[in-house]
Amino acid sequence: MKRGKILAAAAVPVVAAGVALTAGGSANAGTQSAPPIIGYTVAAFNAHSDSISGITATFGTPATSAVGSSAVQVPTADAIQFGATDSQGAAITWSPAVPATGFALTTAGALTLPATPVTAPVTFTVKATDGSAVAFATVNVGVGAATVPAEDGVSVAPDAVALKAPVNNNGTVSFPTVPWGVPETLANGPAGAAFSNGVLSAGTAVPGNYQGVAVTARDTAGATAVETFDAVVQPVYAPVPRLSKGHAVALNPVRENVYYWQSGAPSWDHFTIVGPGAINGHQGWVNGHLGLNTAVYGGLEAHHGYTVYYQPVTGPGSSTPVPGSHWGYVYFVS
């Protein structure tokens, strides 16, 4: 016996509906409304971060000292060379944020300690900038030793902020900071979008691709990192019934079971059978649930072809298609 298939439903919102049928004819296609929108999602793409990290301080004597270590004894006349890493690979400019008398700092990050004795302790801050990124290093000079040449205990403490890559998750975007919990703000975002505690959600934003959106993380001292990205807002449609895997199994020459698979959402499925005999044009409804469904057709004429058309509808007795759904059919020879 020859068997047919239910045609797979197309993706929403392109839709078609089965309507009136005649013997041996095909379904007339008609445009219907898109499925209802039940929410919106937002995702971040093409992100790049501008931040400064890995601040180091290299002393003239002894060699390199890791930032944040304990105080290192160095001659007051030796220079300190600051270094750092910019996330974009660009050159960093250094400047005194909180200057101290007798200390000199070049834009390349070379700090010269006073050659003559100073009143200790001395604390001052240097600033590293590149574009929108800002970081700081606090220098502490302790009490000098009594021996000659005089030595001061010098330590450097960094203050830097970084933004990790944005995380798209369940329709929202989060922006993790290093260290965790740095306050964040949103700029140039979609109108109506919501931003709270480092998480961006679509809110009431109009769907679209928003370019040049920026999240800024800034701590209380002013260390700053900026993430720039494209925000894409999309609607979320209600689940749509999809019919597939249709086939028929003969019970006897005049009776057939028709099976089909329903996914996406349950619905009532309006059917019309087309073929010879009194059953031609017969209509009814199947309570289509998710998974395998069965419809039984009797009173057929043996060894003839029949087509059963199915359309998910809004309820029993209705011929109004579920928005976004498509009709399908099963063809068989009894």
**Domain chopping of the chain, boundaries:** 17-36+239-333, 37-237
| Prediction pTM value | 0.70
pLDDT-based confidence at 119, cuts 50/70/90?
low
Give mean pLDDT, residues 82-111: 88
Give mean pLDDT, residues 258-267: 94
Domain 17-36+239-333 architecture: Sandwich (2.60)
CA distance to 108, 170, 200, 232, per residue, from 44 (Å):
35, 12, 9, 6
Please report the pLDDT score of residue 8 as a whole number. Answer: 38
Give mean pLDDT, residues 210-233: 98
Choose the most confident range, by mean pLDDT, from 41-55, 65-79, 115-129.
41-55
Please report the pLDDT score of residue 234 as a whole number. Answer: 97
* pLDDT(24) > 70: no
CA dist 308 and 72 (Å) reads 87
* pLDDT(28) > 70: no
Top pLDDT among 114 and 214 is at 214
* pLDDT(227) > 60: yes
Burial of 327 by CB count in 10 Å (0-12 exposed, 13-18 middle, 19+ buried)? buried
Please report the pLDDT score of residue 6 as a whole number. Answer: 45
* pLDDT(69) > 90: no
Please report the pLDDT score of residue 182 as a whole number. Answer: 98
